Each structure stands twice: as C-alpha cells, then as structure tokens.
Amino acid sequence: MAELKPGVDLPFRIFAEGRARGEAVVSAEPISLAGEFDAATGIVVGRRSALRGECLTGRILVYRSGRGSSSTSSILAEALRRGTAPAPIVNVSVEHITRYHA
C-alpha cells in the first residue's frame, strides 16, 4: 500500500463520478467520521485525531481508510444537507459500508 505523503501517486477506483477542485486535507491515520466529525460545523472534533480542529467543508479529504461505523453514511448525508461536507473523499482503502452508500 502506498504511503500517504506529497507527490505520491495512489492507485484508485472511482465509486461516484464527479469533479472537484480545492485544498486537500490529508491524514495518514484511519478516520471514523462517527464521533470524530461534526456534521453541523464541518469540523473534526475527535480528541485523538491528527485532523482535530480542521474544517473539512468543501475541502478534499484524503485518508488511508475509515475505522468502520455503520453511521458514517448518515453523518455524510447530514453534512451534505447542511452544506458542511468534504468534497470529494479519497480513500486508499475503501470500507464496504462507505462504498455501498456512495
């Protein structure tokens, strides 16, 4: 698996077509949006997250993989509804729960 650092080309598969442009927020650590991301504000609130305090609204979120939660899709749906969601999300390794709700 490729290391997440600037200038590294990552293999990927597209699960949802689209285009995005913006500043990337990159985490080499797995992320759980459940309990670590506030859909009301778009801010990462997880106490142990390397991205704590970062606003993801409209930014490209790049991370290795999620730390599974079946509520991830609900949290993303709420963030989309509120206009606070990252756009897009790029994972090196996609969780099945995220992939099937994309």
Terminal Cα-to-Cα distance of the chain (whole angstroms): 23
C-alpha 44/C-alpha 78 separation (Å) is 15
Active site residue 32: no
Return the ∠ at Cα 44 (arms to 4 and 9), rounded to 5°: 15
3-state secondary structure of 61: strand
Cis peptide before 86 (omega within 30 of 0): no
Identify the active-site residue in 27, 69, 73, 74: 69
Residues designated as active site = 69
